[in-house]
Amino acid sequence: MTPHTFLQGLRAGIPIAIGYVPIAIAFGLLAKSVGVPDQITILLSLFVFAGASQFMAVQMATSGVFVSEIIFTTFILNLRHFLMTASLGQRLEPTSTPWRFLLAYGVTDETFSVASLQKSHVLGKSYILGLNLLAYSFWNIGTWVGLFLSSSIPSSIQQSMGIALYAMFIGLLMPSIRGSSKVLLVVVAAVIVQVLLSSMGWLSNGWRIIIATICGAAVGALLFREEESPHE
Amino acid sequence: MNSNLYLMVIGMCLVTYIPRLLPLLFMQQIKLPAFLERFLRFIPFAALGSLVFPQVFFSAGVENWFPATIATIVCMVLAWFRINVVIVVLAGIAVTFFVTKAPLPW
């Protein structure tokens, strides 16, 4: 079954929405508590749409850090999306340039992962739009809720929800690992690199993800030369 | 401070959007070398691996690494059996919550 309809995209976005809402609420609450003006917080979710860098920005903005430094850190943190859209672009159905401008706007770790781990090789533009739009909407709704919530969510519940997006990534990844020893090897290679870099402790997580992703994918590309797709 | 913050939003928007956009614009009609094509096909799996580990163990706060680890294992087992992703997500949240709350010596 080729995922191609807008509705299928919306449905595939549900686990992302569940994961985004508590994080976006936490973002709104944090921004408010450190004194970032509400309109800036709202604009960040509307125009940046990248969780980790938004948290970083509101924390740094109120501690007297140069704006140029915040922008540079954001660039490093989100550079991995370059690799992701490059990969996604190979599987997108033939699409006009305006559509590509639109679809690129909604590429996050989460939307990329859900779209990429679809069984079919070719991905429909309406499907990706539906997926991105649901994720984007809930990220923004959550931000507003966080801003206008009078009291904080109990911290134990909020803490427990921090695992939501990781759980989604695991939910997407395990069936692929089970179906392919090549995928397993690529994942293990990437995780080993990531853990090694983490234990050294002198690279930011943005760089670590980029390097580990490149290493893992390169191991797969070097070892498995035959022309079959890992998606089968 | 306010005009600086607007500048920050614009700058962050550009440096986030441009890397998301460029590959989609310029890699559409090009026939890539076979190696690069295989490399790009493996990107999702490598990216997922490096997004999850080891960060997932600290996702409920560094001090709650134990509940998060139990939840990770539960999620991996459920996902292995191809349980719906929504259920895996909800199970992850629930297990983290209840193991954190459980009156046991960790």
Looking at the DSSP bridge assignments, the partners of residue A123 are: A92
- Give me the residues of chain B with pLDDT under 70, please: 1, 29, 104-106
**Angle (nearest 5°) at CA B85 between A26 and A46:** 35
A130 pLDDT exceeds 80? Answer: yes
Work out the pLDDT band at A153, boundaries 50, 70, 90.
confident
The span from the CA of B43 to the CA of B36, in Å, is 11
Determine whether the interchain pair A209/B53 forms a contact, defined as Cβ–Cβ distance below 8 Å: no
pLDDT for A179-217, tens place per residue? Answer: 999 999 999 999 999 999 999 988 888 889 999 999 999
> Residue B52: its chain A contacts at CB < 8 A?
166, 169-170, 173, 191
Tell me what pLDDT residue A228 has.
53
Tell me what pLDDT residue A3 has.
60
| DSSP assignment letter at A64 | T
Estimate to the nearest angstrom the gap between the alpha carbon of A112 and the chain centroid.
7
First to last CA, chain A: 13
- Closest CA relative to residue A41, chosen from A22, A25, A20, A64: A25
Computed over its alpha carbons, how large is the radius of gyration of chain A?
Answer: 18
Nearest CA in chain B to A80: B19
| Residue percentage of chain A with pLDDT more than 70 | 94
User: Region A65-72: what's the mean pLDDT?
Assistant: 89
Question: Looking at the complex, does the CB of residue A109 fall below 8 Å from at least one CB of chain B?
Answer: yes
Residues B77, A174 contacting (CB under 8 angstroms): no
Q: Write out residues 2-61 of B within 8 Å (CB-CB) of A.
A: 2, 4-13, 15-17, 19-25, 27-28, 32, 34-56, 59-61
Neighbours of B75 (CB within 10 A): 30
Q: At what angle do helices A67-78 and A205-223 cross, to 10 degrees?
A: 20
Burial A20-37 (b: 16+ CB within 10 A, else e): bbbbbbbbbbbbbeeebe
Work out the pLDDT band at A232, boundaries 50, 70, 90.
very low
Computed over its alpha carbons, how large is the radius of gyration of chain B?
Answer: 20
Neighbours of A221 (CB within 10 A): 20
Work out the pLDDT band at A230, boundaries 50, 70, 90.
low
Question: Looking at the complex, does the CB of residue B69 fall below 8 Å from at least one CB of chain A?
Answer: no
Residue B5 has its nearest CB partner, among A61, A78, A85, at: A61
User: Region A93-120: what's the mean pLDDT?
Assistant: 94
